[in-house]
């Protein structure tokens, strides 16, 4: 039994190989060109573009969760210090510089290429469709999705002429035969869809252009001082990869006055008490080879200067402090900005006296616009306006900048400093009101606060060449999206023929109207009936 099976199987296999038409064709192997074509088709598919757009939105999420170095480097450093285990791993994968990481740029570029691969072939198709004529009317209009007919008085020739007038009046693209007219409308729907996708490409490319060639610089300018737009004068500067910081346009700005109004005409227990009402800065700008110009800078109303926009982002107080040594020599005298921490403008800041000897001095504490003493919290501010201003400071001595590391102007690094104490061994606490001079412990000198407390304005200077193209692309894309949503692409056909009961004395014509739509069109039946009604009304007076 086993021998028979083993002897027959080879014969059957040989016979099967010899049968015509039974040969199995091996699967073709894709070469490099074939693989490239397959990859290109997959990349330029609309589903791929939608997937990449969704992936780009997901990739941008870390930028809104974790602080970014380009926006607030101090917060990034603080996060890394508070999270010594997780922070370095996040930094290694670029979570603090999301928008400049290679993986974000790769998604960005793939999305642009995918959209271009989708849009360019559709542009060719749209061009051919705009030059093509409507098709011939079907012989049997009853088979179309929407159909109506009606008999009217008049000869087929007169009715045909009226139907032509109606369809041309409705701006149909028409094609005519002896007894039929084909009309097409709504081609702008496809054009609107194409405009929307082209605008999307323009927006994405414009944003990339703005990131590469744009820059942003932030600076704090106290009242009565000036600022020159050079790379070294900005407190923080975030230039794009293609920006030459040495080629900044040389212009200057002087902050003449900063007007800030707070609500004080309500009951102090009201939630509106102390709320800001208006921020306005009176500035004078002057560009290269241009006269000085006085302008007003307000929130959400930037000032243009040499292809840059100047924004008013924040404000605070910059009390002018004078520090003298034991011999009475002035070793520090300038307006020092303090950073507001709450709605009452309780502000923190640091005064760094690098000219002190033998050790440098550092003051750290609060500026309180309206000083009051609380039994539990101590000195606090109860109103953001200057009603009873005062400085509350602690004093340190030592090295202000250990290892030469840069630090924020609002903070004091006490790593290499020692807190100065009074004769009773308690840490030195200084309360200074405007016009007062307070002697420092241990014969270190004195500190005084000027009577007038100037304000500071936080200015943000931005250059974004891609802003206007992106805005234009967004507006045009919105119109394109509305066109694609509102318009409907339809083909309507009209046939005329003599009615069965027509006679030479009383001619009658059967008018048939059919229609179809390229996409779902709930108003197709209404459009077909409306076309027939218009033809009947046009024929009526001449019947």
DSSP string, 186-232: -HHHHHHHHHHHHHHHHHHHHHHHHHHH-EEEEEEEETT-EEE--GG
Domains of the chain, by residue range, sit at 33-124, 135-186+488-542, 212-265+273-317+458-474, 320-455
- Give the helix/strand (H/E) hosting 114: helix 102-131
What are 396's strand-pairing partners? 362, 419
| Pairwise CA distance, residues 332 & 356, whole Å | 9
Encode the chain (543 residues) as per-residue pLDDT tens digits. 444 444 444 445 545 555 555 555 555 565 788 888 888 888 888 888 889 989 988 998 988 888 887 666 667 877 887 888 898 899 889 898 888 888 988 998 899 899 888 888 888 888 888 888 899 999 999 999 999 999 999 899 999 999 999 999 998 999 999 899 999 998 888 899 899 989 989 998 898 888 888 898 889 999 989 999 988 888 888 888 888 888 888 899 999 999 988 888 888 888 888 888 888 999 999 988 788 899 999 988 999 988 899 999 888 999 999 999 999 999 999 999 998 988 899 999 999 999 888 889 999 999 999 999 988 888 899 999 999 999 999 999 999 888 777 677 888 888 889 999 988 888 999 999 999 999 999 889 999 999 999 999 999 999 999 999 999 999 999 999 999 888 889 999 999 999 988 888 889 999 999 999 988 889 999 999 999 999 999 887 444
| Pairwise CA distance, residues 319 & 391, whole Å | 9
Structural Rg of the chain based on CA atoms = 39
Supply the pLDDT for residue 66.
87
In CATH terms, the fold of domain 135-186+488-542 is TATA-Binding Protein (3.30.310)
Question: Pick from 462, 443, 452: which is nearest to 313 by CA?
Answer: 462
- Which residues, including other chains, have CB under 8 Å from residue 70's CB and lie 6 or more apart? 97, 99, 100, 216, 238
Neighbouring C-alpha atoms within 13 Å toward the C-beta of 158: 15
Do the Cβ atoms of 275 and 342 come closer than 8 Å?
no
Supply the pLDDT for residue 28.
57
**Does the domain made of 212-265+273-317+458-474 have the CATH classification 2.60.98?**
yes
Do the Cβ atoms of 80 and 73 come closer than 8 Å?
no
| Pairwise CA distance, residues 11 & 48, whole Å | 52
| Pairwise CA distance, residues 527 & 184, whole Å | 12
| Pairwise CA distance, residues 514 & 525, whole Å | 9
What are 333's strand-pairing partners? 322
| Pairwise CA distance, residues 535 & 348, whole Å | 80
Dump pLDDT digits (tens) for 118-141.
888 888 888 888 888 899 999 999
Do the Cβ atoms of 230 and 240 come closer than 8 Å?
no
Do the Cβ atoms of 446 and 439 come closer than 8 Å?
yes
Question: Pick from 442, 532, 499, 542: which is nearest to 183 by CA?
Answer: 532
| Pairwise CA distance, residues 509 & 530, whole Å | 18
Supply the pLDDT for residue 30.
58
- Give the helix/strand (H/E) hosting 49: helix 46-59
Do the Cβ atoms of 423 and 277 come closer than 8 Å?
no
């Amino acid at each position: 039994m086993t021998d028979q099976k083993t002897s027959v199987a080879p014969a059957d296999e040989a016979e099967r190989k010899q049968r015509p038409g039974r040969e199995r064709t091996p699967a073709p192997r894709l070469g490099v060109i074939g693989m490239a074509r397959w990859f290109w088709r997959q990349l330029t598919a609309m589903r791929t573009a939608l997937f990449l757009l969704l992936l780009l939105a997901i990739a941008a999420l870390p930028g809104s969760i974790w602080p970014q170095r380009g926006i607030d480097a101090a917060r990034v450093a603080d996060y890394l210090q508070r999270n010594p285990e997780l922070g370095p791993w996040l930094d290694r994968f670029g979570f603090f510089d999301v928008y400049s990481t290679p993986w974000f740029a790769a998604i960005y570029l793939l999305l642009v290429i995918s959209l271009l691969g989708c849009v360019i072939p559709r542009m060719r198709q749209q061009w051919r469709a705009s030059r093509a004529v409507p098709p011939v009317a079907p012989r049997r209009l009853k088979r179309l999705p929407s159909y109506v007919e009606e008999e009217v008085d008049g000869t087929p020739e007169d009715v045909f002429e009226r139907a032509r007038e109606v369809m041309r009046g409705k701006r149909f693209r028409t094609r005519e035969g002896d007894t039929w007219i084909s009309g097409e409308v709504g081609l702008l729907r496809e054009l609107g869809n194409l405009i929307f996708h082209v605008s999307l490409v323009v927006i994405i490319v414009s944003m990339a252009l703005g990131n590469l060639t744009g820059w942003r610089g932030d600076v704090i300018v106290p009242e009565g001082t000036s600022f020159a737009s050079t790379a070294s004068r900005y407190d923080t500067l975030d230039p794009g990869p293609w920006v030459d910081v040495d080629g900044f346009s040389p212009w200057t700005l002087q902050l003449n006055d900063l007007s800030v109004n707070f609500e004080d005409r309500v009951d102090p227990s009201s939630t509106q008490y102390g709320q800001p009402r208006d921020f306005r800065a009176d500035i004078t700008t002057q560009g290269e080879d241009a006269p000085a110009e006085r302008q007003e800078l307000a929130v959400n109303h930037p000032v243009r200067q040499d292809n840059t926009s100047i924004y008013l982002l924040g404000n605070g107080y910059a009390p002018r402090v004078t520090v003298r040594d034991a011999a009475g020599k002035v070793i520090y005298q300038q307006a020092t900005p303090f950073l507001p921490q709450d709605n009452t403008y309780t502000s923190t800041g640091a005064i760094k006296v690098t000219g002190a000897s033998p050790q440098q001095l550092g003051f750290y504490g609060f500026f309180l616009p309206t000083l009051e003493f609380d039994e539990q919290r101590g000195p606090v501010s109860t109103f953001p306006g200057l009603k009873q201003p005062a400085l509350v400071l602690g004093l340190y001595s030592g090295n202000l900048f250990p290892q030469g590391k840069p630090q924020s102007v609002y903070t004091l690094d006490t790593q290499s400093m020692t807190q100065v104490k009074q004769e009773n061994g308690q840490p030195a606490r200084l309360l200074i009101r405007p016009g007062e001079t307070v002697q420092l412990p241990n014969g270190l000198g004195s500190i005084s606060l000027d009577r007038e407390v100037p304000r500071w304005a936080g200015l943000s200077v931005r250059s974004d060449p891609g802003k206007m193209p992106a805005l234009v692309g967004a507006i045009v894309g919105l119109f394109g999206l509305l066109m694609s949503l509102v318009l409907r692409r339809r083909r309507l056909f009209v046939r005329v023929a003599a009615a069965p009961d027509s006679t030479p004395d009383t001619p009658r014509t059967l008018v048939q109207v059919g229609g179809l739509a390229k996409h779902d069109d709930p108003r197709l039946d209404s459009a077909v009936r409306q076309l027939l009604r218009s033809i009947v009304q046009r024929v009526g007076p001449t019947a």
